[in-house]
Structure 1
């Protein structure tokens, strides 16, 4: 069965090029009305304006519907204005893909903290601002799909990307909470961890590698993750036509009784504590607390019976 998105409205940030453009075209092909967001404007950055307008024209020339919304996603008031414009024009927002991003790579010791804040503002606060602005509309209509854009740098780390990795890890935390809060409201929230050839990566890879990492190879994952049957609270990694789920998990846990609850005993038990063969998935912070209490109660009783 095909994924039917006809008539839905999607906002894609940073959609003037690269992954955002690929996501926009993929959704438009399925009958989605697409809002092409990018930075810039006539007085500031005509290049970005032309890029966003160019993507909108591509969609319109193919018979689809698209509009351009130029604003910096780290500007809360500008984002609020963009969402108001979309609601005035199309009456609803079904899909938000938080894709806008920048790089300011440098080793942590050499990092400029203002540049660090700028990266966090765009990636994290941009996702916060856009998600917060569409949230009441999605709640009102009882339906919504939000897709964060994380990165392997945020999940696993990457040299010289402390700012980017911190921001990309943070959006996973945002996803986790919004997925829980949105579950009863028909809102599903996921993250995409793309590996693609974009303006941010073109200087880092060989030409034959870049060819495999076309943004279009990632966008099927984005389409699925904002579809009606999408999961929620899930990280989809994608690149070069490969798709995988990344997740946070814990080892089963080892109880240390009060008399042995020392750093030295933990060191002795480390092989058991770090054994991931019986790993568990935890759906919320409170669920983790309840699980720890259950383990402690069970093992305390067993310890007392020895």
Structure 2
């Protein structure tokens, strides 16, 4: 059965093009009323996506606001009314090796990706709690999960969003607010000259959006990281291995033992996905207490 978002209102940030556009189009196809957001300088692009949705029989509005502008974001949420779905998609790139990167270039990317998502989420959070319903997606990245040369700022911001999601998914659960992450793989201007045409065709942003739709559905999961692209969907997880105990060892000796046993410590056959950060401490205490 197809997912229906009829009666739901969704905000998609950075939706004037690329992934944001395909997200907005698919949410509208599923029946949601979509607020197509982009920065004021790109409002014409946002309006074009809005008209595209309307031409297909959907409902949409366009709103120009930087996700880093708290007042503008508050105005956008107020105009949207009861927001059921928030897709934190807006972002920028300032790629450069860390040695050549200025602190301003690092801060800018952190501000847009991390603080932009925080500002937008904060603007809808209380309303979602009051209505006992919400679906929020943070856009993370393989650059944060696994690293990429020249993207220390981007990777740091994207991994920070995973931590943000982990805690919000716990805090929002009692109010039926489900918070997840999406790690997309899609073609960009950077990949145009690096990949053959067939690969670029497979990396269209439209192949990512179905995973987004699943993460905002009525029966969406909570605290899930989906990776998607080229018509494939995977799950990324932050796991914890059983590890070893260094109980009773001298501190200097313990350091050597840890290095010697890194293979055992990192054995994924013993890995679990803790339900919260407290479980790490429980695992360590369990070993210390002989469990």
Q: Give the TM-score of the pair, scaled to structure 2.
A: 0.96
Give 3-state SS (helix, strand or coil) of 1:23's partner: helix
Residue pair 2:13, 2:87 contacting (<8 A) in 1 also: yes
Q: Report the aligned-residue RMSD.
A: 1.3
Given candidates 52, 55, 67, the residue that maps to 2:61 is 67
Of 113-122 and 271-280, deviating more is: 271-280
Matched, 1:271 2:271: no
Residue pair 2:240, 2:280 contacting (<8 A) in 1 also: no
d(CA) in 2 for partners of 1:199, 1:271: 40
Question: For residues 32-84 of structure 1, what are the alpha-carbon distances to aligned partners after superposition, in whole Å with 9 as ceiling and x for unaligned?
Answer: 000000002xxxx2xx1111000000111111110011100011222112111
Counterpart in 2 of 1:289?
A: 281
1:287 is displaced (CA, Å) by 1.8
Matched, 1:280 2:276: no
Residue pair 2:138, 2:161 contacting (<8 A) in 1 also: yes
| Structure 2 unmatched runs, 5+ | none
d(CA) in 1 for partners of 2:206, 2:189: 14
Given candidates 214, 224, 242, the residue that maps to 1:224 is 214
Question: For residues 116-152 of structure 1, what are the alpha-carbon distances to aligned partners after superposition, in whole Å with 9 as ceiling and x for unaligned?
Answer: 1111111000100000100001001100000000000
1:204 is displaced (CA, Å) by 4.6
Give the structure with higher Rg (CA).
1
d(CA) in 2 for partners of 1:186, 1:201: 39
Flag the 1:128–1:200 CA change in 2: closer, same or farther, 3 A: farther
Counterpart in 2 of 1:193?
A: 183
Counterpart in 2 of 1:303?
A: none
Matched, 1:55 2:49: yes
Matched, 1:207 2:200: no
Residue pair 1:102, 1:200 contacting (<8 A) in 2 also: no
Counterpart in 2 of 1:236?
A: 226
Residue pair 2:242, 2:283 contacting (<8 A) in 1 also: no
Q: Give the TM-score of the pair, scaled to structure 1.
A: 0.91
1:201 is displaced (CA, Å) by 4.6
Count of aligned pairs between the two proteins: 289
Counterpart in 2 of 1:156?
A: 146
Give 3-state SS (helix, strand or coil) of 1:258's partner: coil
d(CA) in 2 for partners of 1:7, 1:182: 21
d(CA) in 1 for partners of 2:196, 2:125: 41
Give 3-state SS (helix, strand or coil) of 1:69's partner: strand
| Structure 1 unmatched runs, 5+ | 300-306
1:206 is displaced (CA, Å) by 3.4
d(CA) in 2 for partners of 1:270, 1:28: 49
d(CA) in 2 for partners of 1:98, 1:200: 22
Counterpart in 2 of 1:120?
A: 110
d(CA) in 2 for partners of 1:2, 1:50: 31
1:198 is displaced (CA, Å) by 3.7
Flag the 1:216–1:280 CA change in 2: closer, same or farther, 3 A: same
Counterpart in 2 of 1:78?
A: 72
